[in-house]
DNA sequence: ACCATTACTGAGACTGGGTATCATTCGGCC
DNA sequence: GGCCGAATGATACCCAGTCTCAGTAATGGT
């Protein structure tokens, strides 16, 4: 969960207008804990902020992603989702049990990429890494009631 | 590009029926060089093998993925695509210029995953890694005509 | 070679995510 | 307060992927 103000400020700082609908979407995103889909936010919006159009939700999520305070991830089942995050290069570990996600720094990916370049001859420009597993909370919960 | 026979045999070996439409899709997949989408194959099929239903193409691609001779990847733009590959754990480097892809072994991902576990407390169960860059051919082509 | 079983197929309807259009509104600067 | 263009929302639309179901054909047994 991120703070609404951070999201709004990122929009502002990037030179985009801070409008009522964008504020509303930012708030809904901030209230989310783990990963969420555009559809989730659309539902939230319909319930808690009627009057906000579907298209606007999609546009605002795109915007938040562009601004770097939210990132698109692909779940193992191929579904597109978003997670709130800090605007710097990093990856995500996603809990397959509760959906929460945590940012992690590069953790040696630089070396892996270099090794791949050496072996394949490719000039690696970017990569996408997503890790899936069980978060600490769900691990202890699982231990107690298996 | 993979050999049609390998694809067909994988289907057979897994206990599925080797039917005419499946053979046809396998052939179209084998003829593809880089990554391709389901839509690509649907188009190919309509042109070169009229009579094969859209649903069948999707079903067969799923099947090939399940059998492990083809893998689903997510392109940087979020598009779902497939690449032909050997049936073992590995990752892909995808050329953003020509679309060709190459398999690469783990290259130290084990260590990265362990490091992530240490830092985040998550029990990492699986990961998805895709690398994007320029393949050797496109690099030298780019050097010549920039 | 024939048959029976049943997995597989094709056509088309359907769903759901995402985008395009366009008249209207409203944020932000003067 | 007023202007102007960016942003909005309603809706139509598009495309990927799935479901349904009656018809078909690949296997395995004989």
Separation CA B104–CA A117 (nearest Å):
10
Nearest CB partner across the interface for B108, out of A108, A130, A139: A108
Shortest-distance nucleotide from A55 CA to C1': D9
Closest approach of chain A CAs to the CA of B142, in angstroms? 12
Is pLDDT at A49 greater than 70 in this prediction?
Answer: yes
Determine if strand D comes within 7 Å of the CB of A55: yes
B25-62 residue pLDDT tens: 999 999 998 899 999 999 999 999 989 999 999 999 99
B121-139 residue pLDDT tens: 999 988 888 888 998 998 8
Chain B partners of A119 at a C-beta cutoff of 8 Å? 104-105, 107
| Both tokens assigned to B32 | 């593809």
Is pLDDT at B12 greater than 80 in this prediction?
Answer: yes
CB contact under 8 A, A93 and B124: yes
- Please name which of B8, B73, B66 lies closest in space to residue B35, comparing C-alpha atoms: B73
Chain A partners of B91 at a C-beta cutoff of 8 Å? 116
Whole-model pTM?
A: 0.83
Separation CA B89–CA A111 (nearest Å):
19
Closest approach of chain B CAs to the CA of A20, in angstroms? 29
Helix (H) or strand (E) holding A84: strand A80-84
DSSP state of B88: S
Bridge partners for B130 per DSSP: A128, B92
Distances, alpha carbon B140 to alpha carbons A126, B64, B137, B143, in Å: 19, 34, 5, 5
Q: What average pLDDT does range A74-78 have in this prediction?
A: 83
Question: Strands A91-95, B80-84: parallel, antiparallel or unpaired by DSSP?
Answer: unpaired
CB contact under 8 A, B125 and A102: no
Give the pLDDT confidence score for residue B3 in this predicted structure: 87
Q: How far apart are the first and last CA of chain B?
A: 28
Interface probe, candidates B129, B134, B143, chain A, greatest A C-beta count within 10 A = B129
């Amino acid at each position: 969960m991120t703070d609404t103000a951070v999201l709004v400020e990122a929009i502002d700082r990037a030179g985009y207008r801070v409008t009522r609908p964008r504020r509303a979407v930012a708030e809904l995103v901030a209230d989310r804990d783990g990963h969420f889909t555009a559809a989730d936010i659309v539902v939230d919006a319909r319930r808690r902020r009627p009057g906000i159009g579907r298209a606007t939700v999609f546009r605002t999520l795109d915007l938040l992603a562009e601004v770097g305070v939210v990132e698109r991830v692909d779940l193992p089942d191929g579904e597109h989702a978003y997670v709130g995050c800090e605007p710097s290069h990093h990856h995500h570990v996603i809990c397959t049990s509760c959906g929460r996600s945590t940012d992690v720094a590069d953790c040696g990916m630089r070396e892996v990429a270099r090794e791949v370049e050496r072996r394949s001859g490719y000039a690696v420009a970017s990569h996408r890494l997503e890790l899936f597993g069980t978060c600490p909370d769900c691990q202890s919960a699982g231990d107690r009631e298996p």
